[in-house]
Amino acid sequence: MNNGRDLDKPIAIHHTPRSFSERWIEYCEEHGIDYRIVDCFSNDIIDQLRGFRALLWHWGMWQPQSYMTARSIIVAAEVMGLIVFPNLSTAWHYDDKIAQKYLLEAVGAPLVKSYVFYNEAEAREWIKSAKYPLVFKLRHGAASSNVRLVRNRREAGRLCSVAFGKGFRPVSGYLQDARRKLRDIKDFGTLIGKLKRLPGSFEHLEMIKNTLQREKGYIYFQEFIPDNEYDTRITVIDNRAFGYTREVRPHDFRASGSGLNCYDPRMIPEDTVKIAFSVTEKIRAQCLAYDFVLGKNNVALITEISYGFIPKNILESPGHWDRNLDWHEGRMAAEDAIMIDLLEELQHKTDNRIYKD
């Protein structure tokens, strides 16, 4: 592995606590892989990256500054010849439901019918004849935050007034979904832990609110797909697909963030795995998680995609499918799969250079 010019250079890892980077660092330590910690928010990050062969940066909404800079740094690093995770094809549409709409429509993916308007008059005209209920979403948000069920034209009109007026806050308040958060408290120790984290959580939310602008100037709806007691999450990492189902929250229509997961592979519709592999290949993404619901005649429909996800849920999966839909028993960390793929890509790149030389 170490007899090529690229493989003599270290891997750069931007470290964020409780992100993929924790396991990436452990993996490098365990396997003797040369790496360095870098700060992608540094002014001289481009100069820092000149001595590296790859960059791994699990960025997302927990670092609101990354919305302003991550995509630019990814492009710059790729221009420099580094192999990057996530690369631009994987991440440019991250946490942007409107971008996902356009992308999935472009590749012919079975997306739940979605509607976006940038003109208030056009939006209000459409609202008059729309079929309800509808699902209202903002571009940004995870775990079903900023997602609402719109039951009638009047509710849609009120949302339209806000969307083309003062706009919506980019993140929900900490007390949103308080009922679910209370339900997740299993014992006194868990309660104490949550209370200790409360000041930091409020501070973090305030930082996000102060960094990200209000969501305004557009309104986005999806058709509501009824009679789904759970959704299906399929996560593709190269030649592997991990799957589990998530029950809809009690007295709610949303499954994301419920924490009510089932990892029985027999519960996974085969079409969801096929579609996830096919769309990932068309998008040329390294890694994508798909949320599926079932429409009429049990047709699998995508609601959202994301390169970011909770890695613990992948580790809980008892195995994975390959592109031939063959099942492979055994648990695997998502971060390990990403690192293995990156090292193989580096090896392939180095072998090609040696061959050409």
Residue range 91-128, pLDDT digits in tens? 999 999 999 999 999 999 999 999 999 999 999 999 99
Q: Which residue has the tokens 């047709």?
A: 299
Q: What is the pLDDT of residues 81-96, one digit of tens each?
A: 999 999 999 999 999 9
Class of domain 6-85+335-356: alpha beta
Residue of 168, 129, 170 lying closest to 152 (CA atoms): 129
Question: Which amino acid is residue 270, in one-letter code?
Answer: E
163: pLDDT strictly greater than 60 = yes
| Per-domain residue ranges of the chain | 6-85+335-356, 112-223, 230-325
For residue 182, what is the enclosing H or E element?
helix 178-183
Other beta carbons within 10 Å of 215: 20
Query: Which CATH number describes the domain made up of 112-223?
Result: 3.30.1490.20
Say which CATH topology domain 230-325 has.
D-amino Acid Aminotransferase; Chain A, domain 1 (3.30.470)
Q: What is the pLDDT of residues 243-274, one digit of tens each?
A: 999 998 666 677 665 668 999 999 999 999 99
Q: How many Å apart are CA 250 and CA 255, to the nearest integer? A: 9
Q: Is 207 helix (H, G, I), strand (E, B) or coil?
A: helix
Q: How many Å apart are CA 357 and CA 348, to the nearest integer? A: 14
DSSP 141: -
Other beta carbons within 10 Å of 173: 12
